[in-house]
Homo-oligomer: A and B are copies of this chain.
């Protein structure tokens, strides 16, 4: 059972305002919570079904004090959860302080506001070995439960730094690649050994202010009728081309 206060607290963390206030966020579903437990990410508390607690007894005990582990039933958990299914466990984790990592290659997102897309992009960044994504302030909140769910655990390895992209990109002395319709075909681009890849939102592309900081405009050639590619797919294709050159 969850107490009324616990219910209220967990429901609050579904909203950005309260996540900021408490400096905490929700991790829902077994896959994501197990990734969290196996990572070096701090954990505040876990609310789980009897069977989840029994099955992961040891792992939980190694990471949390018993008084932060709460047994509940799936019915009660699904009432406070933002997921439709997969409600055997919810964890609460403290937000991390994020500083910008000056790695040789960086990925920046400008106005990617769909939480599912952002989560999938975090998972993609993890696949390609990025430990950070730079986000413009109008991207989806990286601690939104839908983002966390879509990362499939990659949120534990990839941090999101919210930055003023035009200002940040302007002062860099490495190439800044941006995806535009009508840029150079990505197959003809010789990517440098270091750089930044900037991807814009699906509906509006890269904003004008960010566009002024782009030194190389690139594009993925289409051959059919679709007007555009999903931003996560487009990012995957360009990152694969970058890895072909630099990896």
**Pick from B128, B152, B221, B226: contact of A222, CB under 8 Å:** B128
Shortest Cβ distance from residue A85 to the other chain B in the assembled complex, whole angstroms:
13
Q: Which residues of B contact A153 (CB under 8 A)?
A: 226-227
Q: C-beta contact mask, A38-77 vs B, less than 8 Å → 1, else 0?
A: 0000000000000000000000000000000000000000
Interface size on A, residues (CB 8 A): 37
Given A224-B157, A237-B237, the answer on whether A230 and B187 have CB atoms closer than 8 Å is no
Q: Which residues of B contact A224 (CB under 8 A)?
A: 125-131, 157
How many copies the complex holds: the figure is: 2
Kindly identify, within residues 200 to 247 of chain A, every residue whose CB is under 8 Å from any CB belonging to chain B.
220-230, 232-234, 236-237, 240-241, 243-244, 247
Determine if B127 and A229 form an interchain contact, defined as CB atoms under 8 angstroms apart: yes
A146 within 8 A of B: no
A87 within 8 A of B: no
A124 within 8 A of B: yes
Q: Which residues of B contact A126 (CB under 8 A)?
A: 224-226
Determine if A220 and B247 form an interchain contact, defined as CB atoms under 8 angstroms apart: no
Chain B residue with the shortest CB-CB distance to A232: B233
Determine if B128 and A230 form an interchain contact, defined as CB atoms under 8 angstroms apart: no
Q: Which residues of B contact A113 (CB under 8 A)?
A: none
Q: C-beta contact mask, A73-117 vs B, less than 8 Å → 1, else 0?
A: 000000000000000000000000000000000000000000000
**Pick from B187, B228, B233: contact of A233, CB under 8 Å:** B233
Q: A124-B230, A126-B225 are in contact. List 12 more A-B contacts (CB 8 A).
A: A127-B229, A130-B224, A152-B226, A152-B228, A153-B227, A157-B224, A157-B225, A157-B226, A186-B240, A236-B236, A237-B237, A237-B240
Q: Nearest 6 pairs between A and B by C-beta?
A: A129-B223, A129-B224, A233-B236, A126-B226, A127-B226, A237-B240
A-B contact pairs, 25 of them (CB 8 A): A120-B230, A120-B233, A123-B226, A124-B226, A125-B224, A126-B226, A127-B226, A127-B229, A128-B222, A128-B224, A129-B222, A129-B223, A129-B224, A130-B224, A131-B224, A152-B226, A152-B227, A153-B226, A153-B227, A154-B225, A220-B240, A221-B243, A221-B247, A223-B243, A232-B233
